[in-house]
Structure 1
Amino acid sequence: MNTETFFAELWRDYTSITPQAELIKQIFAKTDGEVINDHVAFRTFANTPLQLDNLEPLILSLGYERQDSYNFEAKKLRAYSFIHTDPKAPKIFVSELLIDQLSEESQAIIGKYTQQIEAKELDLSVFWSGRHWEMPSFEEYQTLMAETEYGAWLLAIGVRVNHFTVSVNHLTSSETLQDVLRRVKEAGFAVNTVGGEVKGTPADLLEQGSTMADRQAFEFAGGETHEIPTCFYEFALRHADIEKNLYQGFIAANADKIFESTNAA
């Protein structure tokens, strides 16, 4: 599978539960033509057959190389970022929840379901495979939400792309991230305000913003149906360093706030 097919499959799955993304993309397509994707992100569970280190070889098989690693102590996560040899290919960010750092109650809930994951050879379709376990009860979902929104989201939604990202650098109609977010809000979409609408500064070399996640009704174990957050759309503006090279990495402090785009509130 080549990268073009890979991202086409991701977009198909992503927009099936994130209809806002296609609508927002069209807003910018009308003024800019092609809308370039800066990066995508995924979530998974550590210490399972779907752990980060098992997913990495699949990403490398597409021509990527590991760019950097990150730790988010407060959220109990670790992550890798990947960059392709082709500079036009979107970057990839994959994080995993360090389950053993959670409370015993949360570990028990997650373990009940992750033990259902079949240990088998993985292929690239795992990135749009969804849940590998039964749907939890809404009570379990709420219990996890109180400690780890990330874990609750992942248990209900499964392994699939968490967000795509508009490259603001490639937009000709909007030069600032503030203007991009203004257009998104004027179109009726909510924006993540945690830490401010714009996360990061030109001095950090990366400015990021995002919508709040779409919501969709899911039937939980026991038959209860509830509307919960799915995925969101991000916007990134990269700046040049002192050597005039456009920054290609990620800022942990920014990403920490972007994670909250899937908050239920």
Structure 2
Amino acid sequence: MFFPSTPDQVAQRDAFLQELWLDYVHTHPDIAALRLWPTDTPPAYFTLLTLNHGSYGTSYLTPALTRLGYIAVAHYAMADKGLLISLLAPENGESWLVLAELQTGTLCKAPRDALIDLMQQAPMTEGETHSVFHNGRPWPMPTWQLYQSLCAAHPLAAWLSVMGPRLHHAGFDCQQLGLSLSTLDQQFREAGVMGGESLQHGVFPVSNLLDHRFYLTTAQKTVFAEGDEHRICLGGLAIVQKHVSDAHEQVAELLLPHHTRCEMA
């Protein structure tokens, strides 16, 4: 059940979403350059990626998001992906939040210890603050060797080592955009952006109640510790379309497939 937000909550939530979006398009200038729909169209959902370590964990971040007026409506464990996922609902008409937390315990000992050692080099934080998602990577840049080892262990661990807790991708609803998925896919191709049904790049598998395309952003030159330079892809954008257009659920509520998720109390 929703309780009306106070003016202060609305202002803080608007500021949070603006900072989140500005950090996202700054990190992915090719998304900022797209003009396939009105630029003021809000995403159906934001997928935020973090990990279960200290003040970056869901248990610390969810209360901060709740104070902005979001309500945690579902919690899911996806053991095959090493993720805990929380779905946070906004007030009507705003973007949902899909908060995915990587469980470091699912990594083998060597990459897990290396990732935790890297994170422990971050300055102390106050905790329980939503600003962690748009303040950039809090720890030093990993070496290329560490990034490669983390990528072999779990690609999302490698992504987090470079990006920190952050918005991984925004998801847009075809119905809200007023265009079919096939039309949008063609427009993306004409713009030179190629997509597919990659599950790993989209963080989690998507329910068969939706058609889904994930578009990788252009690989960017990234300077790792010790000066190594390599081009890597740092995120993307998702487009989803309901199979039943008049279904009353929001697309964020339909994202996770029932056969791969385990609802938590």
TM-score normalised to the size of structure 1?
0.83
Distance 2:140 2:50 in 1: 16
* Runs of 4+ with >6 A deviation: none
Query: Which secondary structure state, in structure 1, belongs to the residue aligned with residue 192 of structure 2?
Result: coil
Count of residue correspondences: 243
**Paired letter, 1:252:** L
The answer to whether residue 29 in structure 2 is matched with residue 19 in structure 1 is yes
1:55 aligned partner: 61
The answer to whether residue 249 in structure 2 is matched with residue 246 in structure 1 is yes
The answer to whether residue 119 in structure 2 is matched with residue 105 in structure 1 is no
In structure 1, runs of 5+ residues without a counterpart are 257-265
CA contact (8 A) 2:207 2:256 kept: no
CA contact (8 A) 2:42 2:94 kept: no
1:237 aligned partner: 241
The answer to whether residue 172 in structure 2 is matched with residue 166 in structure 1 is yes
Which among 108, 114, 117 is matched to residue 119 of structure 2? 114
CA gap of 1:139–1:229, structure 2 versus 1, over 3 A, is: same
The answer to whether residue 37 in structure 2 is matched with residue 39 in structure 1 is no
The answer to whether residue 144 in structure 2 is matched with residue 132 in structure 1 is no
Give the alignment's Cα RMSD to 1 decimal.
Answer: 2.5
Residues 161-220 of structure 1: per-residue CA shift (max 9 Å, x gap): 111222211123x1x22222121112110103336x99544xx2x332220133222211
Residues 8-33 of structure 1: per-residue CA shift (max 9 Å, x gap): 11111111111122222x1222xxx7
CA contact (8 A) 1:135 1:221 kept: yes
Distance 2:254 2:121 in 1: 33
2:263 aligned partner: none
In structure 2, runs of 5+ residues without a counterpart are 1-10, 261-265
Structure 1 residue 3: Cα displacement: 2.4
CA contact (8 A) 1:14 1:231 kept: no
Which among 91, 96, 119 is matched to residue 96 of structure 2? 91
TM-score normalised to the size of structure 2?
0.83
Structure 1 residue 80: Cα displacement: 0.4
Structure 1 residue 72: Cα displacement: 2.1
**Paired letter, 1:94:** L
CA contact (8 A) 2:63 2:128 kept: no
CA contact (8 A) 1:199 1:209 kept: no
